[in-house]
Chain A
């Protein structure tokens, strides 16, 4: 697929049929609309994403949600650098949730590189694929903001604006543009020593047509990008003033506590709420199709009253389903092997029959919840035919449209109030509608704002989960000990193409997926399919290395001759971790590497087994090739974050199904890595200069296998099922592996 080079309108075919049309940041009609709708007090928008005011301040409007990834700062750095702005004069604002800021560039980026992202497939797979609906999203996800919105829209917007300011100044001075230059928010005419502030030019520059293909800086010309710049969202996060969706507050606000049908997909039959309305502050008991809510003048009062509600739920065929049943179903699907092709190369069947030695292994991982620290919540105030909306979301425009639809209002009459997100990790993407819909239906019954908040228990039990997956492997060696064949069958669905693929030079590969339907709702979870697949493939590769009698690091390096970027990150991580040198008694290093979301990450985990026979992860050394680092400090923090997120899943993460419902309740039985269990983390950024890679997710996939590969060295036990809390490890060190 090829992206059209035209800047104003970009169209491209997408996987599954249909067409996507993306409007670049510099489409003239948008630029004029921005001036008409949003500019005031002498301010002018010179592109959709930038505003320059007479006081020479630049405001960058960032169309993505800030959930800790530092995106407000990174994207502003990209626009400001291309603009040659003085960073001290740059303000950062969240772009309002209006379609002017819909991020077609993100969709375009995915469409060209990977097909369509998982969270859009619901739209794309529908035969009546509506471009308008896709364009109406304002999504933050897929580790995509910097590499798509940043590279395509923000940098282009900054460069186009700079060119307009240059043209404008040259015209005013009556000199050739080539004699003028820009620096620190000024245009200079060096020959005459004249200079004009951007703020003095903005009004006239706004009347010019933006250039269609402005020239972007080379990395050597960067002044702001590439530097560790402090994030603009942090000061408000240390004094309690940073607003999150759950912090929406007004004197007349009401609060809803809600209980959902415990078995997914079932409905409410009846409710006994006798006497509840006489409790202090309780306003109403509301029955919805799949839930019951109590509305009161304080969340605790609503929650306490809800405990007293007797609800009867309909029975369903899933009422007795357990995790064991689900995995047994996976095993049956895998045995039947009614599979769809994921990747076929060479002749795997022939490779297996000609084998001198074969190895087989079966892996599985459970469902996982997102468990963002801010429990899911949504505040809606419906007044007449208009509404106000507060919620932490990865897609402000989509949520606004959804609330309008559920409330029966015009989308233009819904005002979205932005906030920071108390974590997202995929939970706050579109199609995970359950809290949004319920909050809107509840608020429809009042004329004051109503804040619906899930308890932590509901948040864990009514999530859209990281899918449980089972994966079976076979591999073949020839007489020389070379791996000839890789044979893999796993349960779907595939949410991200290619996650099960391996970079290793193995001649025959048969990788296929079988259906693994369950009644448990699923969604994207940080790193999506890579979180399961990398554990499987990098563990099985380790099994092959040990069977071949080779050092796992060297075994990988030998099979990565075609992948110098993989080799480089492995080399950097291994060397920094002291791979091959002496370790403290009872410690071992495990290694894993994975490419995801455009970045390549190698991790080395230093592990020992504690007196309680549980693994202790002492240190993780990571090397990441994300092309280039826009904000190196943010790169490091995202890598640290991704590793700890993946480590939590590896050590403790399990959502299990009993009687058709989630068995876990709260953090004590859905445990997290905390200070005491958090390893030292060392991050090495490898700047290959290749296309920018994502950062929010790529550090998560390798950690589980890195840890379990070390455990194998320590104990001889191969972990083929997570989490590690299910296993008891006796120390039994293998020498010389």
Chain B
């Protein structure tokens, strides 16, 4: 039995301990905002937060997150809002993504937003080199210039 907190709600599932969190989310729980891209932690499309830190869920066995706090793109804003009923429905990062019209096909953007949110939470004013080394997600549409602009709009 795997137990963890997902977007603020306790979950218990009867799955193999080695099943990657990605497939627990997508196939067992039907939470499809977290994407499958490569299966080997190379592209970052599957990025979620484990205790607030960006983790690639396609190589994270569910046993490794036992008892921990998981946030996915679906819960990003609500977890950030916590008990505050007047909190905006989007986080500042999500809003910056709209303001700068970042996504194209959008498939990688759940992971991109999760990675950037985690970076800015720990390092609110990263250098370009720090952005480059921590945001290694693949965007086949090439939204990178807008990702950088959107990040800069939050750090300036």
**0/1 string, B141-156, CB within 8 A of A gives 1:** 1111111100000000
Contact for A238 among B97, B131, B137, B146, CB less than 8 A: B97
CB distance from A76 to the nearest CB of B (A): 16
Contact for A456 among B22, B31, B39, B109, CB less than 8 A: B39
Pairwise interchain contact B143-A641, C-beta atoms closer than 8 A = yes
| Known pairs A300-B19, A456-B39, A667-B42; A676 contacts B110 (CB<8 A) | no
Other than A242-B106, A420-B106, give 11 A-B pairs with Cβ distance below 8 A: A238-B109, A239-B77, A240-B32, A240-B34, A243-B32, A246-B36, A422-B35, A640-B145, A642-B142, A675-B144, A675-B148
CB distance from A344 to the nearest CB of B (A): 38
**0/1 string, B120-156, CB within 8 A of A gives 1:** 0000000000011101111111111111100000000
Pairwise interchain contact B94-A238, C-beta atoms closer than 8 A = yes
Pairwise interchain contact B98-A235, C-beta atoms closer than 8 A = yes
Pairwise interchain contact B32-A375, C-beta atoms closer than 8 A = no
Pairwise interchain contact A238-B90, C-beta atoms closer than 8 A = yes
Residues of the A chain whose Cβ atoms lie less than 8 Å from the Cβ of B106: 68, 233-234, 236-237, 242, 420, 422
CB distance from B142 to the nearest CB of A (A): 3
Among A101-109, A308-316, A366-374, the stretch in contact with B: A366-374
Pairwise interchain contact A298-B28, C-beta atoms closer than 8 A = yes
Contact for B138 among A247, A640, A672, CB less than 8 A: A672
In chain B, what residue has the closest Cβ to A246? B36
Please report which residues of chain A, range 632-691, place their CB below 8 angstroms from some CB of chain B when the two chains form the complex. Answer: 633, 637, 640-645, 648, 666-668, 672-676, 678, 680-681
Pairwise interchain contact B144-A423, C-beta atoms closer than 8 A = no
CB distance from A449 to the nearest CB of B (A): 12
Pairwise interchain contact B136-A641, C-beta atoms closer than 8 A = no
A interface residue count range (under 10 / 10 to 19 / 20 to 34 / 35 or more): 35 or more
In the bound complex, CA of A240 to CA of B40 (Å): 21
- Is the C-beta of B73 less than 8 angstroms from some C-beta in chain A? yes
- Is the C-beta of A280 less than 8 angstroms from some C-beta in chain B? yes
Pairwise interchain contact A641-B142, C-beta atoms closer than 8 A = yes
**0/1 string, A538-553, CB within 8 A of B gives 1:** 0000000000000000
Pairwise interchain contact B145-A674, C-beta atoms closer than 8 A = no
Contact for B145 among A247, A298, A680, CB less than 8 A: A680
Pairwise interchain contact B23-A298, C-beta atoms closer than 8 A = yes
Pairwise interchain contact B27-A298, C-beta atoms closer than 8 A = yes
CB distance from A95 to the nearest CB of B (A): 19
4 nearest A-B residue pairs (beta carbon): A240-B33, A644-B142, A68-B104, A422-B107
Q: Is the interface of B mostly helix, strand, loop or mixed?
A: loop
In the bound complex, CA of A324 to CA of B70 (Å): 49
Pairwise interchain contact B30-A244, C-beta atoms closer than 8 A = no
Pairwise interchain contact A231-B105, C-beta atoms closer than 8 A = no
Residues of the A chain whose Cβ atoms lie less than 8 Å from the Cβ of B133: 676
Q: Which of A235, A238, A667 has the most CB of B within 10 A?
A: A238
Pairwise interchain contact A644-B144, C-beta atoms closer than 8 A = yes
Residues of the B chain whose Cβ atoms lie less than 8 Å from the Cβ of A644: 141-142, 144
Pairwise interchain contact B109-A237, C-beta atoms closer than 8 A = yes
Contact for A420 among B34, B38, B105, B137, CB less than 8 A: B105
In chain B, what residue has the closest Cβ to A297? B27
9 CB-based A-B contacts, threshold 8 Å: A230-B98, A239-B90, A244-B32, A373-B140, A374-B37, A453-B36, A455-B39, A674-B136, A675-B147
Pairwise interchain contact B38-A667, C-beta atoms closer than 8 A = yes
Residues of the B chain whose Cβ atoms lie less than 8 Å from the Cβ of A453: 36
Residues of the A chain whose Cβ atoms lie less than 8 Å from the Cβ of B19: 298, 300-301
Pairwise interchain contact A678-B145, C-beta atoms closer than 8 A = yes
Pairwise interchain contact A640-B131, C-beta atoms closer than 8 A = no
Q: Which residues of B contact A (CB under 8 A)?
A: 16, 19-20, 22-23, 26-28, 30-40, 42-43, 45, 72-74, 76-77, 90, 94, 97-98, 101-110, 113, 131-133, 135-148
Residues of the B chain whose Cβ atoms lie less than 8 Å from the Cβ of A231: 101
Q: Which of A69, A230, A297, A374 has the most CB of B within 10 A?
A: A374
Residues of the B chain whose Cβ atoms lie less than 8 Å from the Cβ of A421: 105
Residues of the B chain whose Cβ atoms lie less than 8 Å from the Cβ of A673: 142, 144
- Is the C-beta of A727 less than 8 angstroms from some C-beta in chain B? no
Residues of the A chain whose Cβ atoms lie less than 8 Å from the Cβ of B32: 240, 243-244, 246-247, 249
CB distance from A148 to the nearest CB of B (A): 21
Residues of the B chain whose Cβ atoms lie less than 8 Å from the Cβ of A239: 33, 73-74, 76-77, 90, 94
Q: Is the interface of A mostly helix, strand, loop or mixed?
A: loop
**0/1 string, A355-367, CB within 8 A of B gives 1:** 0000000000000
In the bound complex, CA of A525 to CA of B56 (Å): 29
Residues of the A chain whose Cβ atoms lie less than 8 Å from the Cβ of B23: 298-300
In the bound complex, CA of A241 to CA of B110 (Å): 10
CB distance from A261 to the nearest CB of B (A): 21
| Known pairs A239-B74, A240-B73, A299-B27; A234 contacts B105 (CB<8 A) | no
- Is the C-beta of A187 less than 8 angstroms from some C-beta in chain B? no
In the bound complex, CA of A36 to CA of B3 (Å): 52
Contact for B110 among A235, A240, A372, CB less than 8 A: A240
Residues of the A chain whose Cβ atoms lie less than 8 Å from the Cβ of B142: 640-645, 648, 673, 678
Pairwise interchain contact B146-A637, C-beta atoms closer than 8 A = yes
Residues of the A chain whose Cβ atoms lie less than 8 Å from the Cβ of B98: 230, 234-235, 238
In the bound complex, CA of A373 to CA of B112 (Å): 13
CB distance from A370 to the nearest CB of B (A): 9
- Is the C-beta of A255 less than 8 angstroms from some C-beta in chain B? yes
Residues of the B chain whose Cβ atoms lie less than 8 Å from the Cβ of A242: 106
CB distance from A33 to the nearest CB of B (A): 32
In the bound complex, CA of A255 to CA of B23 (Å): 11
In chain B, what residue has the closest Cβ to A451? B27
Pairwise interchain contact B113-A641, C-beta atoms closer than 8 A = no
- Is the C-beta of A263 less than 8 angstroms from some C-beta in chain B? no
Residues of the B chain whose Cβ atoms lie less than 8 Å from the Cβ of A371: 140
- Is the C-beta of A67 less than 8 angstroms from some C-beta in chain B? yes
Residues of the A chain whose Cβ atoms lie less than 8 Å from the Cβ of B113: 238
Contact for A67 among B36, B101, B105, CB less than 8 A: B105
**0/1 string, A161-175, CB within 8 A of B gives 1:** 000000000000000
Residues of the B chain whose Cβ atoms lie less than 8 Å from the Cβ of A666: 38-40, 42
Pairwise interchain contact A423-B141, C-beta atoms closer than 8 A = yes
Contact for A69 among B22, B73, B104, B143, CB less than 8 A: B104
Residues of the B chain whose Cβ atoms lie less than 8 Å from the Cβ of A234: 97-98, 101-103, 106
Residues of the A chain whose Cβ atoms lie less than 8 Å from the Cβ of B107: 244, 372-374, 420, 422-423
In chain B, what residue has the closest Cβ to A237? B106
CB distance from B79 to the nearest CB of A (A): 12
In the bound complex, CA of A666 to CA of B58 (Å): 14
**0/1 string, A573-606, CB within 8 A of B gives 1:** 0000000000000000000000000000000000
In the bound complex, CA of A235 to CA of B73 (Å): 13
Residues of the A chain whose Cβ atoms lie less than 8 Å from the Cβ of B45: 373
In the bound complex, CA of A385 to CA of B76 (Å): 42
| Known pairs A244-B107, A374-B107; A423 contacts B140 (CB<8 A) | yes
Residues of the A chain whose Cβ atoms lie less than 8 Å from the Cβ of B37: 373-375, 456
In the bound complex, CA of A99 to CA of B31 (Å): 33
CB distance from B123 to the nearest CB of A (A): 15
